[in-house]
Structure 1
Amino acid sequence: MSMPEIPERTQEESLTDLLESIALEETALAHFVNAEAEKIQAVAKMMEEGTMDPTEVLEFQRSVSKIMRTPIKKEMLLQFKLEDVLETKREIEG
């Protein structure tokens, strides 16, 4: 297997690529959170209809809490990445 070819980039282009990657990751996280919100809405409807008992609701709530930890952690990492990129950009611009 050959090594991937990495194109020549200026520092400004590299920073732009990093900002784009942050934006794409933010979009992916938004889709993930939206999917969880849709599940919550479905469960809320089931609760109103009485087709889900309190024990099931509590188990679902625990599941959502556990699942949402991952995007929260990812969001914190993206914030650090964004701060680093912006700091570097300010340093380059003087």
Structure 2
Amino acid sequence: MPTIPHEPYRPSLDQVVVDLLKSIALEETALANLLNAEAEQMRALAHQGQHAASHRARCELMAQAGRQSVRLLDAVVMKEWLLLRKLDNTLDLYRSEHGDKRCDPGGHDDDDE
């Protein structure tokens, strides 16, 4: 069986959970920045489209920008789903170590009193 080699620093489970939650937050921030940049680009293109020489050129420009935005949104939705899975797995890891206080048969619920 493979073994985990000894390392001088091995983080606690709590630190691992915190690191995972931080990484989720950083990825969410990056996605928000991407969406903001896309919105700014769409605003700029809409402004540029108002000054297009012809209606056809304006429509073509906006259609191309729309396709690009749809591709970006598809990628963001997939990434959000992956981040949700990562969050669920992180919470499951935490609960497996610390127990889910809401479901602890030995604990006291405020509703029982």
Q: What band does the TM-score fall into relative to the shorter chain?
A: 0.7 to 0.9
Q: Residue in 2 aligned with 1:26?
A: 28
* TM-score for both structures, normalised by structure 2: 0.69
Pairing partner for 1:72 from 70, 77, 102: 77
Distance change in 2, residues 1:72/1:21 (3 Å): same
Runs of 4+ in 1 over 3 A off after TM superposition: none
* TM-score for both structures, normalised by structure 1: 0.82
Let me know the Cα RMSD of the aligned residues: 1.8
Structure with the larger RCO, 1 or 2 (CA within 8 Å, 6+ apart): 1
User: Is there any run of 5+ residues in structure 1 with no aligned partner, and where?
Assistant: none
1:63 pairs with 2:63: no
Q: Residue in 1 aligned with 2:98?
A: 93
In 1, Cα distance between the equivalents of 2:30 and 2:63? 27
The structure with the greater share of residues assigned to helix is 1
**Partner SS state of residue 9, structure 2:** coil
Deviation for aligned residue 1:68: 2.3
**Partner SS state of residue 11, structure 2:** coil
In 1, Cα distance between the equivalents of 2:60 and 2:84? 37
